[in-house]
Chain A
Amino acid sequence: NAGVTQTPKFRILKIGQSMTLQCTQDMNHNYMYWYRQDPGMGLKLIYYSVGAGITDKGEVPNGYNVSRSTTEDFPLRLELAAPSQTSVYFCASSYDGAYSGNTIYFGEGSWLTVV
């Protein structure tokens, strides 16, 4: 069972470069999320989507963009990378929102370093 798959697992970027973190899920989940986790810290919600074509900002959206053209895919775009974006990024999905009691499933994380 694939679940939530995100790529790449590791990436080093130079300041000012751009890149896309890919995320796909095979559970037919409506909700998808992107989080970042700085060392020793909690997870901060960057963007989320409640279905194809619908996205919304989370707590820390600046410097990122997302799109949701299909139910399965939810890529995260980093434009003009900055050292402050050095973090571990997690993609996640759930069938419905937290209010419904559904479990959220996470990918294995993508380690991004901006130098």
Chain B
Amino acid sequence: AQTVTQSQPEMSVQEAETVTLSCTYDTSESDYYLFWYKQPPSRQMILVIRQEAYKQQNATENRFSVNFQKAAKSFSLKISDSQLGDAAMYFCAPPRYQFYFGTGTSLTVIP
């Protein structure tokens, strides 16, 4: 069964502002990967960012960064300087053998 929680079904952010999407998960592993994927209205799934658990440093990809709290099993996504093109569903993928996804957070960007 899935062991990932995205507690914010919907979020909104003003253009150019910062927003944080939350994700918590459960695992008994010590080394693993976590992912955030984006699904815009086109429905295409796009990798946003990936974090390896043993790395202390939080992953960053341009305006996207994560706040990875291993002990708390928390993996939040921060989007800085939000743009209209960031409007999408965002899915967290927990540490599992296969690719499972959370229930998603729908992000609206307000001009």
Contacts and interface: CB of A to CB of B under 8 A. Distances in A.
Contacts, number: 59
Interface in A19-69: 31, 33, 35, 40-43, 45, 48, 58-59
Contact of B45 (A41, A45, A59, A106): A106
Given A98-B35, A99-B32, A43 B91 contact: yes
B44 A108 contact: yes
A69 B6 CA distance: 36
B101 A43 contact: yes
B99 A45 contact: yes
Interface residues of A, number: 25
Contacts of A45: 98-100
SS of A interface (majority): mixed
A51 B96 CA distance: 18
Given A45-B98, A59-B2, A108-B44, A100 B103 contact: no
Interface in B45-71: 45, 47, 50, 52
Interface stretch (A10-18, A76-84, A88-96): A88-96
Given A59-B1, A92-B45, A106-B44, A98 B96 contact: yes
Contacts of A35: 101
Given A42-B91, A59-B1, A106-B44, A101 B102 contact: no
B39 to A, nearest CB: 9
A98 B95 contact: yes
Contacts of B52: 101
